[in-house]
Structure 1
Amino acid sequence: MPSPAEAFKAVDGSGLTVERSIPIAVHPEYEMPGGFVFLTSIDQVAHIVVSTVYCFDRSAENAVDVVKQALSQVLVPYYPLAGRLARSSEGKLIVDCQKKLGVPFVEAVANCDLDSLGDMSILHPDVLGKLVYKDPTTQNMPEIAPLLTAQVTKLNNGGLILGIALNHCMSDGISAIKFINSWAEIARGEPLSVVPCHDRTILKPRMPPQIRGPYDDFVQLSDVSNLTALYEKEQIVYRSFHFDSEKLAAVKRMATAGGQVKRSITSFVALAALVWRTRSMALRMKPHQQTMLTFPVDFRSKLSPQVPDGFFGNAVVFPCCLCTTGELIDEPISSTVERITEAIERVDEDYARSRIDYLDAYGFEEFALGTLLISSWTKLDYGSSDFGWGEPRQFGTGSLPAKSCLFMRGWRDKKDVVVVLSLPFSAMNTFQELLQV
């Protein structure tokens, strides 16, 4: 029997002490115009705060001042991040740039070095709460909370962690990493390689809306497997599974076995098929339980004309694969691979415009527990986030929604993939046993 993928538990932060300063507001270096920024129907449903950490094993003596000063400068081209959310006369979220409240910035010191923290791809909530500052208004008054916060934590032996909390309604992963890398360019004394574009009206819904299929994407799943009770009864655990190049090759061989796949496939498609099937089995879904796999697909290059390279916002849609658990488990994994590949290929301009129209007309309903949402961060260019003392040695995030899974780059070898997800305790143990490659 092949060995299971190596599993890592989230760093629990035992003994980690972080002393913080009082937050100060960092404003754009120059006075910026007021007004309001339109948010698309995709932005409207992405109203959650995403926390990330950039971990450096060395830094400069004046690193905190460098990062803070560069933030003030980068907020000139990225001025909406210093604003706050508001409601338009139609009740839609917009960014109010007239409230010049700035970005909360925190300095901190920790009692450890980077090596002692280990794998940072997935952080225990306690650790995340110490390394990423969240404004107290974020939880109870999200519409007046900052859109961005920053914390710089100095470590022993010269290390440093930059912790970011960013409201997802402002950007998807591609835009977010461009912002961070622009911030880093300014810190290095270099001009911006990409000038941000804040005109989101290019993604306005059509009037009248033109909503076309496939309509599987809009299906709401019934919980015939009583997954809600399982999630309420058991402790939810977070775990990450490391796939090196050898294990990835094994997954791709397994995913193409049986002759159903007639083309080359990516590591994402092969891993997504494996994780979707394995999670469904680990949760002991009933054969007639509908299950859905969905994932973000960037449509910037799909539109005509293309979305500008510097577009700062959300430009992803979520195609899906829908079937019963019985169909998913009984079919060869190569057939699951075909489902996923076909879903990706469906994304064209008409598909993206149709989804924008649908969200504007009907909004978004929370995914059911029978759904698995996989986001791949493996191609995000966080290696360019060099503030003057080298690229981050690690990049990570925190707790995940129950239906979510992340694919991240390995922290030892960038060609490796780390699969991060959360499950009820019993299901996680079964998942780890079943994840054979």
Structure 2
Amino acid sequence: MGIAAEESRAFHVTTVRKDVVTALLPLQEHWLALSNLDPLLPPLAVSVCFCYKKPNSLTSSLAINNTLKKALAEVLVTYYAFAGEVVTNSTGEPELLCNNRGVDFVDGFADVALRELNLYDPDESIAKFVPKNKHGVISIQVTELKCGSIVVGSTFDHRIADAYSANMFFVSWAQMSRSEPISLVPSFRRSLLNPRRPLLIDSSIDLMYMPVSSLPPPQETCGQDVLTSRIYYIKSDVMNQLQALASSNGFRCTKLESFSALLWKLVAKHARKYPRKITSKLGIVVDGRRRLADQETDKKESNMKTYFGNVLSIPFGGRRVDDLMEKSLSWVASEIHEFLNGAITKDHFLNLIDWVETQRPKPAVSRIYSTGSDDGPAVVVSSGTGFPVNKVDFGWGPPVFGSYHFPWGGSAGYVMPMPSAAGNGDWVVYLHLTQGQLKFIEEEASHVFKPLNSDYLKI
């Protein structure tokens, strides 16, 4: 593996203070059931991190933390789900108790400068700035660096919120910190995702999802098969060239399809140790909000746009490794487009909601989440292109870097491309793949995947 910055080094984060921030106004305690799309997520912790250059010298770290806590207390009045806790109900299902237990808030100090951070290796850098979520739904950590820069990290329970929901929260928290009204008021109307009566079950869902109890036992990994996280950047002109190569015969694929096609070819090419006819799988996370709204009424469209919870599906396709290796990038992109087409519809999400109704209270999961010993490599691409990194400005300027951190624990790889904080069309890409796959990708596609470093971030 390459080293992102020569000056990067080991560092320590010291906890200065711990608080619990509750909603500013008293809330009526109540229960909020999970929707039929929430049980498709295991109890996974998702982290996100924002790095800021040193604020104005007149602003002390104490004043910054007090401002953030005050704004958090205010925004939790509206985003009350994040102030609750997950409990198990009488049927054995998780449920959200909205009791304003509050958000664990950690103040920290790190003996490292912003420029010295090796963000290319988030397991050694970002992981120290995001808290363990031990009690509530979300936890916050604000860390001052020795250079005066600030890192805001957070970890939340994926069963309660997807990245879209968390993004709404971070933007609203930043707006409140700047003494501005929040632009997106979350909707917690679970009835928007109620199953149909009678239920209509499509057999295609059984091919995509299965009960958690049917998951194969986890496989032991070692050496080059250990899953590891890395962060790269991809220049906008390279993405444009990739999109042009992946488009053919009058069909113009999206940048996400183009990127996923390249990634799938690389993962397949690395799998030379497998029999050539083995199948490799690739899944892409799809947000169903716009599909379910379907512009039926302006009100429903608005409610779905601001719906807080999980509205995700993970369609995937399996293709032979030798086909992925030998056929063109445009062929792979068209194969991705084909399996996506069946799942970017309103009917797919309605079928999925109805299917989950037949499974409850048993939790279910996408079949690509775990692979068996006879399967080829699998990877899930989650579209983070809507990551509002430049909007998370708490009053001292937008971040110079932001990224999700999601070493999810599955045997399949996980990848999330996001917009660069530079706002120039570049991508920042989080990869959670095996060490062998990462090394191979760096060797084969160094012109595309550039290890993130302080020079690129201009810090």
Q: 1:201 to 1:414 in 2, by over 3 A?
A: farther
Q: 1:233 to 1:55 in 2, by over 3 A?
A: closer
Q: Is the 8 A contact 2:29 2:97 kept in 1?
A: yes
TM-superposed CA distance for 1:327, in Å, is 3.0
* 1:197 is aligned to 2:187: yes
TM-superposed CA distance for 1:219, in Å, is 8.4
Tell me what 1:317 maps to: 313
Tell me what 2:13 maps to: 18
Tell me what 2:246 maps to: 255
* 1:367 is aligned to 2:370: yes
Tell me what 1:288 maps to: 277
Tell me what 1:241 maps to: 232
Q: Structure 1 stretch 233-242 or stretch 200-209: which is displaced more?
A: 233-242
* 1:187 is aligned to 2:194: no
- Choose which of 379, 384, 389 in structure 1 pairs with 2:386: 379
TM-score (norm 2): 0.82
Distance 1:289 1:93 in 2: 38
- Choose which of 114, 125, 128 in structure 2 pairs with 1:130: 128
TM-superposed CA distance for 1:151, in Å, is 0.9
Distance 1:355 1:90 in 2: 21
Q: Structure 1 stretch 261-270 or stretch 236-245: which is displaced more?
A: 236-245
The Cα offsets for residues 194-216 of structure 1, whole Å up to 9 and x where unpaired, read as 11111122112334432225454
- Choose which of 302, 310, 335 in structure 1 pairs with 2:291: 302
Q: Structure 1 stretch 24-33 or stretch 56-65: which is displaced more?
A: 56-65
The alignment partner of 2:305 has SS state of: coil
Q: 1:377 to 1:414 in 2, by over 3 A?
A: farther
Q: Is the 8 A contact 2:285 2:313 kept in 1?
A: yes
Q: Structure 1 stretch 424-433 or stretch 22-31: which is displaced more?
A: 424-433
Distance 1:11 1:172 in 2: 36
Q: 1:232 to 1:116 in 2, by over 3 A?
A: closer
TM-superposed CA distance for 1:431, in Å, is 2.6
Q: Is the 8 A contact 1:11 1:127 kept in 2?
A: no
In the alignment, structure 1 segments of 5+ residues that lack a partner are 1-5, 139-144, 221-226
After superposition, where does 1:65-84 map in structure 2 within 5 Å?
Answer: 65-84=66-85
Tell me what 1:223 maps to: none
AA of the residue aligned to 2:322: G
TM-superposed CA distance for 1:8, in Å, is 6.5
The Cα offsets for residues 164-217 of structure 1, whole Å up to 9 and x where unpaired, read as 011112211111111011111111111111111111221123344322254543
The alignment partner of 1:165 has SS state of: strand
* 1:419 is aligned to 2:424: no
Tell me what 1:114 maps to: 114
Q: Kindly tell me the number of residue pairs found equivalent between the two proteins.
A: 412
Q: Is the 8 A contact 1:182 1:194 kept in 2?
A: yes
Distance 2:54 2:168 in 1: 22
Distance 2:111 2:251 in 1: 51
AA of the residue aligned to 2:131: Y
The Cα offsets for residues 275-304 of structure 1, whole Å up to 9 and x where unpaired, read as 011112213343322222111112212124
Q: 1:336 to 1:214 in 2, by over 3 A?
A: farther
Tell me what 1:142 maps to: none
The alignment partner of 2:241 has SS state of: helix
Q: Is the 8 A contact 1:240 1:420 kept in 2?
A: yes
Q: Structure 1 stretch 48-57 or stretch 83-92: which is displaced more?
A: 83-92
The alignment partner of 1:296 has SS state of: strand
TM-superposed CA distance for 1:245, in Å, is 2.1
After superposition, where does 1:133-172 map in structure 2 within 5 Å?
Answer: 133-135=131-133, 138=134, 145-172=135-162
AA of the residue aligned to 1:113: A
Distance 2:395 2:2 in 1: 33
Q: Is the 8 A contact 2:117 2:125 kept in 1?
A: no
AA of the residue aligned to 2:106: V
- Choose which of 246, 262, 265 in structure 1 pairs with 2:253: 265
Q: Is the 8 A contact 1:10 1:122 kept in 2?
A: no
Tell me what 1:224 maps to: none
- Choose which of 347, 350, 363 in structure 1 pairs with 2:347: 350
AA of the residue aligned to 1:56: Y
TM-superposed CA distance for 1:84, in Å, is 0.9
TM-superposed CA distance for 1:42, in Å, is 2.1
Distance 2:280 2:235 in 1: 28
The alignment partner of 2:403 has SS state of: strand
Distance 1:18 1:194 in 2: 34
Distance 1:193 1:164 in 2: 21
In the alignment, structure 2 segments of 5+ residues that lack a partner are 212-217, 449-459
Q: 1:8 to 1:345 in 2, by over 3 A?
A: farther
Q: Is the 8 A contact 2:290 2:304 kept in 1?
A: no
CA root-mean-square deviation: 2.8
Q: 1:128 to 1:418 in 2, by over 3 A?
A: closer
